[in-house]
Amino acid sequence: MIRRKRTCWTAILLVCVMLVSGCSIWPGQNDSSSNKKVALTLWYWNRSIDDKLIAKAKEKFPNIELTAQKIGGDFKAKLKTTLAARSGEPDIVALNDWIMELFPSEDRFYNLYDLGAGDVEDQYLDWKWKQGVTPDGQMIGFPMDTGPTALFYRADLFKEAGLPSEPEEVAHQINNWDAYSAAGEKIKEKFGGKVFLTDNIGTVYNQVLSQGTERYFRPDGSFIGMDSPLVKQSWDTAVSFKQKGLLANADGWTPGWNAAMNNGEIASFVGAVWMKQVLQEAAPDTSGKWRVTRAPGGDGNNGGSFLSILKSSKHPKEAFEVIQWLQSPDNQLEQYKTLNLFPSAPGVFDTPAMKEEEPFFGGQATGPVFAESAQHVPEAFFGERYPSVHNIITRRLNDIAKQNANPEQVWPDTVQRVERELQR
Amino acid sequence: MWEHRALYVAISPFYILFAVFGLFPIAFSLYLAFHKWDGIGVMTYNGLNNFKYMLTDAEFWQAVGNTFMIWIYATIPMLFFALIIAFLLHAPFVKFRTLFRVGYFLPNVTSIVAVAIIFGALFANNYGFLNYLLQSVGLPVVEWLDAPWGIKVAISSMVVWRWTGYNAVIYLAGLQSIPQTLYEAAKIDGASGIQSFFRITIPMLRPVILFTVITSTIGGMQLFTEPQILVGNDGGTGAAGMTIVLYLYRESFINNYFGYGAAVGWGMFLIIALFSIVNWKLVQGKSS
């Protein structure tokens, strides 16, 4: 009996040893071998930083052991759970334009101003820089790429409908949303309703809103109210596009959108610079027919990213050196060439690489159009609750566009839902 | 008891894992339901506010309604087809039975994401396969993914496709456990095939039917991946595909109201419990 018991215990012990030895829990194995190199980890997503540039950074900083991890899946959710768990945090992390959601947790990040970011502030677009600064004046995000917007349009369809087709003429004649809407009616008439002016109601609302100087909140955090002139104007413009039948109701990132673009059912849309890539992949058959010009109603921004240093990092100084180097104007230009990431450093806008002619856009050099737009983006405060309010409104607009809900009834209901949302 | 401690240690992994990954999250979500938490910052006590908000939240009740509608759209045809398939598989004239059994089980082990993408292509408004078929026989197209009922039909059809075979295999096991002598006795007494189906097969299958109804109730109430991939985190146009779990997910992980998300989880628990009891009474009712 005793013998059997002992074998039993030995077996359990063995299993435990095998389980534990599977995952190495002894730290510091690397420290001894690498002469006190500073170890830094960096989280980014595919195509947000050029992999070759990261390889170069490792050469550039021989005293730093940089581990760059490409995080797949839902990047934001992964970052937030890691922040909540307070363990396994990287030193440097890339953030998308949802950076404002993290402003309430600014104490979890280093203030980049403390690390010397102020010295290079004048090299970057002012409005972009300010998007990384919290209302308390802490800078938690260093500028990466931006998303200046412009009007993408089909020159051939515009011409056929009797509209101007050269970029300068289009920008000159279709310079506000009313003129744009009138152009849409001409297109609709000419093609018997088979070609739509633009893709969906959300695009219209977003773009009108992005051209303004205010969103839903004031910098002190208070709610401007749904009767803000800009919100009302964006809403009314979007609804009028629906009522005039100018929308193809094709949602972005769907096969239907790709097909509608490729089949020439959509004549134009206002989109950010990164839509160039999306469009080229979605609509290869329309190559050479697209042009880009300054958007009706003004310039705006949609998207763009930042780099941050988490407070848990033990080497903020070195981390900041890496960030500053990765996003230096020259390296941003490098990444424009390799990954089409639009620089946030206006100093490189005049370089030949930014003025290259593109066959997809009929030989037009679209770089200068976006560069011009990027320099005129109005500065606006978002606030950490921007996404939830914005989401409620765009959802209700979709009901109007696709289920023919009555705008007169949807508006008060939307106002009520937003107000309820803000109470919790 | 102490003398058997080695054996208790040997079976302890399950209890330890359950405590860490099962019991703790359940207890924590109950704690969380009474707090306000954005997932990163500090938790503040919020009393019953999360529950109060939930009870007066139009979107929550819409999600509850949607979930029930999708459950009805899916479960009734699913169990009906499953019973017919099981009956056919059990019939003596069917050959290659094992092949069919494997075949019917296949949808259940197919990646749900792949399934959702295929169904998305079938039901797409423009260039969708179903609309192509409708058009080719001269019928008007249906805006499947923009109509409230269309979205529900699309989601339900994914559920039916995925779970019919699974339930059929369970019914088949039930059928095989019915003693053949009962049918023989009925035959001698002059009962027809239909009579023996309704008088012998169905009553004898009652416990199995009860099991499938309860499992598909729980599964149906927890529907998440299908609508999320098919129509997105907002439940599609007019939130017609917003189910309770999708709503819980959106409120917690998209809008960062983790406390509220936990409250919704407990609300869902109550609904499932109540609904299961009702189902149990209904199915069980006749025999007792």
The answer to whether residues A304 and A273 touch, using CB atoms and an 8 Å cutoff, is no
Helical segments of A132-286, H only: 155-160, 167-173, 177-190, 201-210, 229-243, 255-262, 275-282
Nearest to A256 among B6, B7, B124 (CB): B124
Q: Give me the residue spans of the domains in chain A.
A: 38-147+303-354, 148-301+359-423
H or E stretch covering B53 = helix B49-55
The answer to whether the A38-147+303-354 and A148-301+359-423 domains have the same CATH topology is yes
Residues B24-64 have pLDDT tens digits of: 999 999 999 999 998 888 899 999 999 999 999 999 999 99
Residues A395-406 have pLDDT tens digits of: 999 999 998 999
B229: exposed, middle or buried (C-beta count within 10 Å: 0-12, 13-18, 19+)?
Answer: middle
Domains defined along chain B, listed by start: 58-112+159-284 (1.10.3720.10)
pLDDT at B144 over 80: yes
Query: Greater confidence, B245 or B286?
Result: B245
CB contact under 8 A, B237 and A108: no
The answer to whether residues A219 and A135 touch, using CB atoms and an 8 Å cutoff, is yes
pLDDT at B97 over 70: yes
Residue of chain A with shortest Cα separation from B253: A77
| Percentage of chain B modeled with pLDDT above 90 | 60
Q: How confident is the model at residue B92 (pLDDT cuts 50, 70, 90)?
A: confident
Residue A286 to residues A19, A128, A160, A358, B205, Cα–Cα distance (Å): 58, 33, 15, 13, 60
- Report the pLDDT value the prediction gives residue B116, as an integer from 0 to 100: 86
How many CB atoms within 10 Å of residue B77?
15
Cβ contacts of B41 on chain A, cutoff 8 Å: 104-105
CB contact under 8 A, A398 and B237: yes
To test the contact with chain A by mutation, choose from B14, B113, B126 the residue with the greatest count of A C-beta atoms within 10 A, namely B126
Fold classified for A38-147+303-354? D-Maltodextrin-Binding Protein; domain 2 (3.40.190)
CB contact under 8 A, A77 and B253: yes
Return d(Cα A63, Cα A36) in angstroms, integer: 8
Return d(Cα A94, Cα A309) in angstroms, integer: 9
CB contact under 8 A, B39 and A405: no
Q: Which residues pair with B181 in a beta bridge?
A: none
Instruction: Say yes or no: domain A148-301+359-423 is CATH 3.40.720.10.
Output: no
pLDDT at A392 over 60: yes
Residues B66-87 have pLDDT tens digits of: 999 999 999 999 999 999 899 8
Cβ contacts of A250 on chain B, cutoff 8 Å: 126
CB contact under 8 A, A402 and B49: no
CB contact under 8 A, B127 and A5: no
- Report the pLDDT value the prediction gives residue A295, as an integer from 0 to 100: 97
Going by C-alpha positions, the residue among A402, A159, A367, A147 that lies closest to residue A267 is: A159
Using a CB–CB cut-off of 8 Å, the residues of B that contact A are: 6-7, 9-10, 36, 38-41, 49, 53, 58, 120-121, 124-127, 143, 146-148, 234, 237-239, 253, 255-257, 260
Going by C-alpha positions, the residue among A266, A262, A270 that lies closest to residue A247 is: A266
Q: Which residues pair with A294 in a beta bridge?
A: none
Query: What's the pTM value of the predicted model, to 2 decimals?
Result: 0.85
Residues A14-63 have pLDDT tens digits of: 666 555 555 444 444 444 444 678 999 999 999 999 999 999 999 999 99
- Report the pLDDT value the prediction gives residue A28, as an integer from 0 to 100: 44
Nearest to A80 among B40, B120, B124 (CB): B40
Q: How confident is the model at residue A77 (pLDDT cuts 50, 70, 90)?
A: confident
The answer to whether residues B217 and B105 touch, using CB atoms and an 8 Å cutoff, is no
Q: What's the CA dihedral at A327, A330, A335, A337 to 10 degrees?
A: 170
Residues A232-291 have pLDDT tens digits of: 999 999 999 999 999 999 999 888 899 999 999 999 999 999 999 999 999 999 999 999
Place of tokens 């359950």: B18
Query: Greater confidence, A302 or A73?
Result: A302
* Mean pLDDT, rounded, of chain A: 91
Nearest to A108 among B6, B40, B125 (CB): B40
Nearest to B126 among A102, A256, A417 (CB): A256
B9: exposed, middle or buried (C-beta count within 10 Å: 0-12, 13-18, 19+)?
Answer: middle
The answer to whether residues B174 and B210 touch, using CB atoms and an 8 Å cutoff, is no
Residues B268-283 have pLDDT tens digits of: 999 989 988 887 887 7
- Report the pLDDT value the prediction gives residue A401, as an integer from 0 to 100: 94
Residues A328-378 have pLDDT tens digits of: 999 999 999 999 999 999 999 999 999 999 999 999 999 999 999 999 999
CB contact under 8 A, B41 and A101: no
Nearest to A399 among B9, B143, B238 (CB): B238
